[in-house]
Homo-oligomer: A and B are copies of this chain.
Amino acid sequence: MNYSIIVVGDEILIGQVQDTNSGFIARQLTPYGWQAVNIRAVADEGQAIFDAIDEAFAHSDVVLMTGGLGPTKDDITKPTLCRYFGGRLVHDEATARNVEQIVAGRHLTINDYTRAQAMVPSSCRVIQNQCGTAPLMWFERDGKVLVSMPGVPYEAETMLVREVIPQLMAHFSDNVDIEFRHLMVVGIIESALAMQLDQWERQLPQGIHLAYLPQPGIIHLRLTGMSTDRQWLKREMDRLDQELRDRLGAHVVADQDLPVAAIVGNILRERGLTLSTAESCTGGNIAHEVTAIAGSSDYFMGAVVSYHRRVKELQLGVSASDIDRCGVVSQTVAEQMATGVCRLLDTDCSIATTGVAGPGGGTPETPVGTVWMAARCGDRLAVQCKHIPGHRQRVISRATNDALLLLLSLLLETR
Protein backbone atom coordinates (compact mmCIF):
# COMPACT_ATOMS: atom_id res chain seq x y z
CA MET A 1 0.00 0.00 0.00
CA ASN A 2 1.28 3.47 -0.92
CA TYR A 3 0.70 6.24 1.57
CA SER A 4 1.66 9.87 2.13
CA ILE A 5 2.31 11.86 5.26
CA ILE A 6 1.34 15.51 5.65
CA VAL A 7 2.74 17.38 8.62
CA VAL A 8 0.78 20.57 9.27
CA GLY A 9 2.25 23.48 11.20
CA ASP A 10 3.99 26.82 10.82
CA GLU A 11 6.25 25.78 13.72
CA ILE A 12 7.76 23.04 11.53
CA LEU A 13 8.41 25.37 8.58
CA ILE A 14 10.20 27.93 10.72
CA GLY A 15 12.24 25.17 12.37
CA GLN A 16 10.99 25.93 15.87
CA VAL A 17 9.76 22.36 16.29
CA GLN A 18 11.46 19.32 14.80
CA ASP A 19 8.92 17.00 13.23
CA THR A 20 9.42 13.47 14.54
CA ASN A 21 5.92 12.16 13.78
CA SER A 22 6.64 11.37 10.14
CA GLY A 23 9.64 9.23 11.05
CA PHE A 24 7.66 7.44 13.74
CA ILE A 25 4.80 6.72 11.34
CA ALA A 26 7.18 5.42 8.68
CA ARG A 27 8.99 3.17 11.16
CA GLN A 28 5.65 1.66 12.19
CA LEU A 29 4.21 1.15 8.70
CA THR A 30 7.30 0.06 6.74
CA PRO A 31 7.32 -3.43 8.32
CA TYR A 32 3.78 -3.99 6.98
CA GLY A 33 5.11 -3.42 3.48
CA TRP A 34 3.48 0.01 3.32
CA GLN A 35 5.50 2.53 1.32
CA ALA A 36 5.64 6.23 2.07
CA VAL A 37 5.83 7.90 -1.33
CA ASN A 38 5.89 11.40 0.06
CA ILE A 39 6.37 13.18 3.34
CA ARG A 40 5.67 16.88 3.32
CA ALA A 41 5.31 19.72 5.78
CA VAL A 42 2.90 22.57 5.06
CA ALA A 43 1.87 25.79 6.77
CA ASP A 44 -1.27 26.32 8.87
CA GLU A 45 -2.96 27.72 5.82
CA GLY A 46 -6.17 26.41 4.27
CA GLN A 47 -5.19 26.37 0.61
CA ALA A 48 -1.76 24.86 1.33
CA ILE A 49 -3.40 22.03 3.30
CA PHE A 50 -6.06 21.52 0.61
CA ASP A 51 -3.46 21.31 -2.16
CA ALA A 52 -1.26 18.96 -0.14
CA ILE A 53 -4.18 16.56 0.41
CA ASP A 54 -5.11 16.69 -3.24
CA GLU A 55 -1.57 16.00 -4.39
CA ALA A 56 -1.10 13.22 -1.82
CA PHE A 57 -4.25 11.42 -2.97
CA ALA A 58 -3.01 11.62 -6.54
CA HIS A 59 -0.07 9.38 -5.59
CA SER A 60 -1.37 7.27 -2.73
CA ASP A 61 -4.39 5.52 -1.26
CA VAL A 62 -3.87 6.60 2.33
CA VAL A 63 -2.92 9.99 3.74
CA LEU A 64 -1.82 10.34 7.34
CA MET A 65 -1.92 13.91 8.55
CA THR A 66 -0.53 15.17 11.86
CA GLY A 67 -0.88 18.55 13.51
CA GLY A 68 -2.94 21.62 12.78
CA LEU A 69 -5.44 20.62 15.47
CA GLY A 70 -4.35 22.61 18.51
CA PRO A 71 -7.10 24.71 20.10
CA THR A 72 -5.75 27.89 18.50
CA LYS A 73 -5.46 26.32 15.04
CA ASP A 74 -8.84 24.69 14.95
CA ASP A 75 -10.25 27.30 12.63
CA ILE A 76 -7.98 26.29 9.74
CA THR A 77 -7.56 22.52 9.43
CA LYS A 78 -11.08 21.34 10.26
CA PRO A 79 -12.89 23.73 7.86
CA THR A 80 -10.37 22.72 5.17
CA LEU A 81 -11.19 19.05 5.77
CA CYS A 82 -14.91 19.95 5.47
CA ARG A 83 -14.18 21.71 2.20
CA TYR A 84 -12.30 18.69 0.87
CA PHE A 85 -14.53 15.89 2.12
CA GLY A 86 -17.84 17.73 2.35
CA GLY A 87 -20.09 18.17 5.39
CA ARG A 88 -19.97 20.88 8.03
CA LEU A 89 -18.68 21.28 11.57
CA VAL A 90 -21.03 19.71 14.10
CA HIS A 91 -20.92 19.23 17.86
CA ASP A 92 -20.02 15.63 18.72
CA GLU A 93 -21.23 14.57 22.15
CA ALA A 94 -18.83 11.61 22.56
CA THR A 95 -15.88 13.89 21.76
CA ALA A 96 -17.17 16.51 24.21
CA ARG A 97 -17.27 13.87 26.96
CA ASN A 98 -13.77 12.68 26.06
CA VAL A 99 -12.43 16.26 26.16
CA GLU A 100 -14.05 16.79 29.58
CA GLN A 101 -12.47 13.63 30.90
CA ILE A 102 -8.99 14.47 29.58
CA VAL A 103 -9.15 18.04 30.92
CA ALA A 104 -10.40 16.84 34.32
CA GLY A 105 -7.55 14.30 34.45
CA ARG A 106 -5.11 17.19 34.10
CA HIS A 107 -6.76 19.07 36.97
CA LEU A 108 -7.75 21.86 34.57
CA THR A 109 -11.13 23.32 33.67
CA ILE A 110 -12.77 23.44 30.25
CA ASN A 111 -12.46 26.76 28.42
CA ASP A 112 -13.70 27.98 25.03
CA TYR A 113 -10.65 26.55 23.31
CA THR A 114 -10.98 23.03 24.67
CA ARG A 115 -14.77 23.14 24.19
CA ALA A 116 -14.25 23.84 20.48
CA GLN A 117 -12.40 20.52 20.15
CA ALA A 118 -15.78 18.77 20.19
CA MET A 119 -16.74 20.43 16.88
CA VAL A 120 -15.88 17.96 14.10
CA PRO A 121 -16.66 17.63 10.37
CA SER A 122 -19.90 15.70 9.83
CA SER A 123 -18.10 13.81 7.05
CA CYS A 124 -15.65 12.07 9.39
CA ARG A 125 -15.70 9.20 11.85
CA VAL A 126 -14.08 10.26 15.13
CA ILE A 127 -11.44 8.12 16.84
CA GLN A 128 -11.35 9.34 20.44
CA ASN A 129 -7.96 10.61 21.54
CA GLN A 130 -6.99 8.72 24.69
CA CYS A 131 -4.13 11.08 25.57
CA GLY A 132 -5.30 14.57 24.63
CA THR A 133 -8.18 16.79 23.66
CA ALA A 134 -7.82 16.92 19.85
CA PRO A 135 -9.96 14.15 18.32
CA LEU A 136 -8.59 11.93 15.55
CA MET A 137 -10.69 12.02 12.36
CA TRP A 138 -11.09 9.26 9.74
CA PHE A 139 -12.29 10.37 6.28
CA GLU A 140 -13.04 8.24 3.23
CA ARG A 141 -13.45 9.24 -0.42
CA ASP A 142 -13.36 7.08 -3.56
CA GLY A 143 -11.99 4.14 -1.55
CA LYS A 144 -9.12 6.23 -0.20
CA VAL A 145 -8.61 7.15 3.45
CA LEU A 146 -7.26 10.19 5.27
CA VAL A 147 -6.63 10.09 9.01
CA SER A 148 -6.06 13.40 10.77
CA MET A 149 -4.08 13.03 14.01
CA PRO A 150 -2.87 15.44 16.68
CA GLY A 151 0.63 16.89 16.33
CA VAL A 152 1.83 16.31 19.91
CA PRO A 153 4.24 13.37 19.46
CA TYR A 154 3.15 11.52 22.59
CA GLU A 155 -0.49 11.64 21.48
CA ALA A 156 0.21 10.87 17.82
CA GLU A 157 2.50 7.94 18.64
CA THR A 158 0.22 6.36 21.21
CA MET A 159 -2.90 6.67 19.08
CA LEU A 160 -1.14 5.49 15.94
CA VAL A 161 -0.07 2.26 17.60
CA ARG A 162 -3.25 1.68 19.58
CA GLU A 163 -5.92 2.63 17.06
CA VAL A 164 -4.86 3.98 13.68
CA ILE A 165 -2.65 1.11 12.48
CA PRO A 166 -5.00 -1.67 13.62
CA GLN A 167 -7.93 0.11 11.94
CA LEU A 168 -5.95 0.71 8.73
CA MET A 169 -4.89 -2.94 8.58
CA ALA A 170 -8.44 -4.11 9.19
CA HIS A 171 -9.67 -1.75 6.46
CA PHE A 172 -7.11 -2.47 3.76
CA SER A 173 -5.73 -5.95 4.33
CA ASP A 174 -8.82 -7.74 5.61
CA ASN A 175 -7.85 -11.29 4.70
CA VAL A 176 -4.09 -10.96 4.74
CA ASP A 177 -2.18 -11.93 7.86
CA ILE A 178 1.14 -10.28 8.61
CA GLU A 179 3.86 -11.71 10.82
CA PHE A 180 7.26 -10.35 11.84
CA ARG A 181 10.40 -11.83 13.31
CA HIS A 182 13.26 -9.67 14.55
CA LEU A 183 16.88 -10.58 15.18
CA MET A 184 19.46 -8.17 16.53
CA VAL A 185 22.93 -9.23 15.40
CA VAL A 186 26.36 -8.12 16.68
CA GLY A 187 29.97 -9.00 15.97
CA ILE A 188 29.64 -9.22 12.20
CA ILE A 189 29.68 -6.45 9.60
CA GLU A 190 26.81 -5.93 7.19
CA SER A 191 28.58 -6.99 4.00
CA ALA A 192 29.82 -10.22 5.63
CA LEU A 193 26.34 -10.95 6.96
CA ALA A 194 24.82 -10.29 3.54
CA MET A 195 27.28 -12.72 1.94
CA GLN A 196 26.56 -15.35 4.56
CA LEU A 197 22.79 -15.10 4.05
CA ASP A 198 22.77 -14.52 0.29
CA GLN A 199 21.89 -18.08 -0.76
CA TRP A 200 19.41 -18.55 2.05
CA GLU A 201 17.65 -15.29 1.24
CA ARG A 202 17.17 -16.25 -2.42
CA GLN A 203 15.19 -19.31 -1.36
CA LEU A 204 12.66 -17.45 0.78
CA PRO A 205 9.07 -18.40 -0.08
CA GLN A 206 6.87 -15.93 -1.95
CA GLY A 207 5.43 -13.28 0.40
CA ILE A 208 8.28 -13.47 2.91
CA HIS A 209 11.27 -11.15 2.80
CA LEU A 210 14.28 -10.15 4.86
CA ALA A 211 15.33 -6.54 5.58
CA TYR A 212 18.69 -5.31 6.90
CA LEU A 213 18.51 -2.26 9.16
CA PRO A 214 22.09 -1.50 10.17
CA GLN A 215 22.84 0.71 13.16
CA PRO A 216 26.30 1.56 14.49
CA GLY A 217 27.82 -1.69 15.72
CA ILE A 218 24.60 -3.69 15.50
CA ILE A 219 22.36 -4.95 12.71
CA HIS A 220 18.62 -5.34 12.96
CA LEU A 221 17.32 -8.15 10.73
CA ARG A 222 13.60 -8.14 10.11
CA LEU A 223 11.69 -10.96 8.50
CA THR A 224 8.27 -9.90 7.20
CA GLY A 225 5.70 -12.39 5.96
CA MET A 226 2.25 -11.84 4.44
CA SER A 227 -0.25 -14.48 3.44
CA THR A 228 -3.94 -15.28 3.46
CA ASP A 229 -3.07 -18.67 4.97
CA ARG A 230 -2.50 -17.88 8.61
CA GLN A 231 -1.36 -21.34 9.67
CA TRP A 232 1.11 -21.78 6.83
CA LEU A 233 2.50 -18.31 7.49
CA LYS A 234 3.10 -18.87 11.18
CA ARG A 235 4.74 -22.25 10.57
CA GLU A 236 6.99 -20.90 7.81
CA MET A 237 8.00 -17.85 9.82
CA ASP A 238 8.88 -19.99 12.84
CA ARG A 239 10.93 -22.30 10.64
CA LEU A 240 12.80 -19.46 8.90
CA ASP A 241 13.39 -17.66 12.18
CA GLN A 242 14.93 -20.83 13.60
CA GLU A 243 17.08 -21.30 10.49
CA LEU A 244 18.41 -17.77 10.83
CA ARG A 245 19.24 -18.39 14.48
CA ASP A 246 21.02 -21.64 13.65
CA ARG A 247 23.10 -19.89 11.00
CA LEU A 248 24.00 -16.87 13.10
CA GLY A 249 24.43 -18.61 16.45
CA ALA A 250 25.93 -16.43 19.15
CA HIS A 251 25.76 -13.33 16.95
CA VAL A 252 22.03 -13.06 17.72
CA VAL A 253 21.55 -10.99 20.87
CA ALA A 254 17.83 -10.16 20.89
CA ASP A 255 14.60 -11.17 19.20
CA GLN A 256 13.12 -7.69 18.97
CA ASP A 257 14.22 -4.22 17.90
CA LEU A 258 15.82 -2.84 21.04
CA PRO A 259 18.41 -0.18 21.91
CA VAL A 260 21.79 -1.61 22.93
CA ALA A 261 21.16 -0.47 26.51
CA ALA A 262 18.01 -2.62 26.63
CA ILE A 263 19.80 -5.69 25.23
CA VAL A 264 22.53 -5.28 27.83
CA GLY A 265 19.87 -4.73 30.49
CA ASN A 266 18.01 -7.91 29.59
CA ILE A 267 21.16 -10.00 29.86
CA LEU A 268 22.04 -8.43 33.21
CA ARG A 269 18.55 -9.08 34.56
CA GLU A 270 18.58 -12.67 33.30
CA ARG A 271 21.88 -13.40 34.99
CA GLY A 272 21.12 -11.44 38.15
CA LEU A 273 24.06 -9.07 37.59
CA THR A 274 24.26 -5.41 38.62
CA LEU A 275 25.75 -2.49 36.69
CA SER A 276 27.38 0.87 37.36
CA THR A 277 29.11 3.40 35.11
CA ALA A 278 32.11 5.70 35.57
CA GLU A 279 32.02 8.43 32.97
CA SER A 280 34.33 11.20 32.00
CA CYS A 281 33.89 12.33 28.38
CA THR A 282 30.42 10.78 28.04
CA GLY A 283 29.39 12.93 31.00
CA GLY A 284 26.52 10.77 32.25
CA ASN A 285 25.12 9.86 28.85
CA ILE A 286 25.70 6.12 29.32
CA ALA A 287 23.80 6.24 32.62
CA HIS A 288 21.11 8.23 30.83
CA GLU A 289 20.80 5.62 28.05
CA VAL A 290 20.72 2.82 30.61
CA THR A 291 18.05 4.51 32.73
CA ALA A 292 15.99 5.50 29.69
CA ILE A 293 14.96 1.83 29.69
CA ALA A 294 11.95 1.14 31.91
CA GLY A 295 12.79 -1.35 34.63
CA SER A 296 16.52 -0.52 34.64
CA SER A 297 16.37 -0.15 38.43
CA ASP A 298 16.40 -3.97 38.50
CA TYR A 299 20.12 -3.98 37.65
CA PHE A 300 21.45 -0.41 37.50
CA MET A 301 22.84 0.79 40.82
CA GLY A 302 24.20 4.17 39.79
CA ALA A 303 27.04 6.12 38.23
CA VAL A 304 29.90 8.41 39.03
CA VAL A 305 30.50 11.13 36.46
CA SER A 306 34.13 11.91 37.20
CA TYR A 307 34.54 14.97 35.04
CA HIS A 308 37.25 16.50 37.18
CA ARG A 309 40.48 14.63 37.80
CA ARG A 310 39.98 14.91 41.56
CA VAL A 311 36.71 12.92 41.34
CA LYS A 312 38.54 10.16 39.47
CA GLU A 313 41.13 10.00 42.23
CA LEU A 314 39.01 10.49 45.34
CA GLN A 315 35.81 8.68 44.36
CA LEU A 316 37.00 6.05 41.91
CA GLY A 317 40.46 5.47 43.37
CA VAL A 318 42.34 6.11 40.14
CA SER A 319 46.07 6.42 40.88
CA ALA A 320 47.31 10.02 40.70
CA SER A 321 50.75 8.91 39.60
CA ASP A 322 49.27 6.79 36.80
CA ILE A 323 47.33 9.84 35.60
CA ASP A 324 50.57 11.85 35.66
CA ARG A 325 52.46 9.12 33.86
CA CYS A 326 49.92 7.98 31.23
CA GLY A 327 47.61 10.96 30.94
CA VAL A 328 43.97 11.13 31.95
CA VAL A 329 42.88 9.77 28.54
CA SER A 330 44.59 6.39 28.67
CA GLN A 331 44.03 2.69 28.91
CA THR A 332 45.07 2.46 32.53
CA VAL A 333 42.76 5.27 33.66
CA ALA A 334 39.79 3.70 31.83
CA GLU A 335 40.55 0.34 33.47
CA GLN A 336 40.96 1.83 36.94
CA MET A 337 37.72 3.78 36.55
CA ALA A 338 35.83 0.61 35.61
CA THR A 339 37.31 -1.27 38.53
CA GLY A 340 36.87 1.63 40.93
CA VAL A 341 33.18 2.14 40.27
CA CYS A 342 32.48 -1.60 40.68
CA ARG A 343 34.11 -1.43 44.09
CA LEU A 344 32.52 1.89 45.11
CA LEU A 345 28.94 1.02 44.14
CA ASP A 346 29.36 -2.70 44.78
CA THR A 347 28.33 -3.93 41.33
CA ASP A 348 29.22 -6.98 39.23
CA CYS A 349 29.66 -5.07 35.99
CA SER A 350 30.68 -1.58 34.93
CA ILE A 351 31.41 0.64 31.96
CA ALA A 352 33.97 3.45 31.98
CA THR A 353 34.98 6.16 29.49
CA THR A 354 37.70 8.78 29.35
CA GLY A 355 38.33 10.83 26.23
CA VAL A 356 38.43 14.18 24.48
CA ALA A 357 34.97 15.19 23.22
CA GLY A 358 36.26 18.50 21.90
CA PRO A 359 36.28 21.02 20.40
CA GLY A 360 39.07 22.00 22.85
CA GLY A 361 41.41 19.78 24.83
CA GLY A 362 43.04 17.85 22.00
CA THR A 363 46.81 17.33 21.73
CA PRO A 364 48.96 15.79 18.99
CA GLU A 365 49.17 12.52 20.98
CA THR A 366 45.52 12.57 22.04
CA PRO A 367 43.51 14.39 19.37
CA VAL A 368 39.84 15.36 19.75
CA GLY A 369 37.69 12.26 19.31
CA THR A 370 40.05 9.89 21.16
CA VAL A 371 38.08 7.84 23.67
CA TRP A 372 39.36 5.03 25.88
CA MET A 373 36.60 2.80 27.18
CA ALA A 374 36.60 -0.16 29.52
CA ALA A 375 33.99 -2.69 30.57
CA ARG A 376 34.14 -4.98 33.55
CA CYS A 377 32.18 -8.11 34.34
CA GLY A 378 33.26 -10.00 37.44
CA ASP A 379 36.99 -10.58 37.06
CA ARG A 380 37.06 -9.93 33.35
CA LEU A 381 38.01 -6.61 31.88
CA ALA A 382 37.74 -5.45 28.26
CA VAL A 383 39.27 -2.24 27.00
CA GLN A 384 39.43 -0.43 23.66
CA CYS A 385 40.37 2.92 22.16
CA LYS A 386 38.25 4.62 19.49
CA HIS A 387 38.95 7.64 17.32
CA ILE A 388 35.57 9.20 16.60
CA PRO A 389 35.46 11.95 13.97
CA GLY A 390 32.91 14.76 14.12
CA HIS A 391 31.69 17.34 16.58
CA ARG A 392 31.25 17.10 20.35
CA GLN A 393 27.71 15.66 20.30
CA ARG A 394 28.74 12.95 17.88
CA VAL A 395 31.79 11.95 19.90
CA ILE A 396 29.65 11.69 23.03
CA SER A 397 26.86 9.67 21.43
CA ARG A 398 29.13 7.31 19.50
CA ALA A 399 31.34 6.73 22.53
CA THR A 400 28.21 5.93 24.54
CA ASN A 401 27.10 3.38 21.96
CA ASP A 402 30.56 1.83 21.57
CA ALA A 403 31.04 1.52 25.32
CA LEU A 404 27.67 -0.25 25.72
CA LEU A 405 28.63 -2.60 22.86
CA LEU A 406 31.94 -3.32 24.59
CA LEU A 407 30.12 -4.51 27.70
CA LEU A 408 27.69 -6.47 25.51
CA SER A 409 30.49 -8.37 23.81
CA LEU A 410 32.11 -9.06 27.18
CA LEU A 411 28.79 -10.43 28.48
CA LEU A 412 28.45 -12.64 25.41
CA GLU A 413 31.98 -14.02 25.83
CA THR A 414 31.32 -14.99 29.41
CA ARG A 415 28.01 -16.73 28.97
Central interface residue in A19, A42, A311, by most chain B CB within 10 Å? A311
Oligomer: number of copies: 2
Q: Mark A5-45, 1 if CB is under 8 A from B, else 0.
A: 00100001111111110111111111000011111111100
Question: Are the CB atoms of B297 and A302 closer together than 8 Å?
Answer: no
Q: Name the distance in Å between A349's Cβ and chain B's nearest Cβ.
A: 14
Contacts A/B (CB < 8 Å), 25 sampled = A7-B39, A12-B26, A13-B26, A15-B25, A15-B28, A22-B41, A37-B43, A279-B287, A284-B285, A284-B287, A288-B288, A291-B305, A291-B357, A292-B392, A292-B393, A292-B396, A294-B392, A300-B307, A301-B311, A302-B307, A302-B308, A303-B305, A304-B304, A304-B305, A315-B344
A344 proximity list for chain B (CB < 8 A): 315
Q: Is the Cβ of A292 less than 8 Å from the Cβ of B287?
A: no
In the complex, which of the residues B7, B154, B294, B302 contacts A390, with contact meaning CB atoms closer than 8 Å? B154
A41 CB contacts on chain B under 8 angstroms: 22, 36, 38-40
- Of all chain B residues, the one with the shortest Cβ separation from A42 is B38
A79 within 8 A of B: no
Choose among B42, B284, B311, B357 the residue that contacts A284 (Cβ–Cβ < 8 A).
B284
Is A339 engaged at the interface, CB distance under 8 Å to the other chain? no
- Taking CB atoms, residues of chain B closer than 8 Å to A40 are 38-41
Distance (whole angstroms) from the CB of A316 to the closest CB of chain B: 10
Is residue A235 contacting chain B, with contact meaning CB distance below 8 A? no
The one of B19, B294, B303, B357 in contact with A358, judged by C-beta atoms closer than 8 angstroms, is: B294
CB–CB A306/B302 < 8 A? yes
Q: Does A207 contact B (CB under 8 A)?
A: no
Whether a CB of chain B sits under 8 angstroms from the CB of A141 is no
Say yes or no for A345: interface residue by CB 8 A criterion: yes
A227 to B107, CA, bound (A): 49
Q: Return the CB mask of A276-300 against B: 1 if under 8 Å, else 0.
A: 0101001111111011101111001
Instruction: Tell me if A311 and B345 are in contact (CB < 8 A).
Output: yes
Contacts of A357 in B (CB 8 A): 291, 294
A284-B303 in contact given A18-B20, A26-B13, A41-B40 (Cβ < 8 Å): yes
User: Which residues from 373 to 393 on chain A have a C-beta closer than 8 Å to any C-beta of chain B?
Assistant: 389-393
Residues A307 and B291 in contact in the complex (CB < 8 Å), given A41-B40, A213-B16:
yes
What residues on B are CB-neighbors of A106 within 8 Å? 389
Tell me the bound Cα distance from A389 to B205 in angstroms: 46
A310 on the B face (CB < 8 A): yes
Interface status of A272 (Cβ within 8 A of chain B): no
A359 on the B face (CB < 8 A): yes
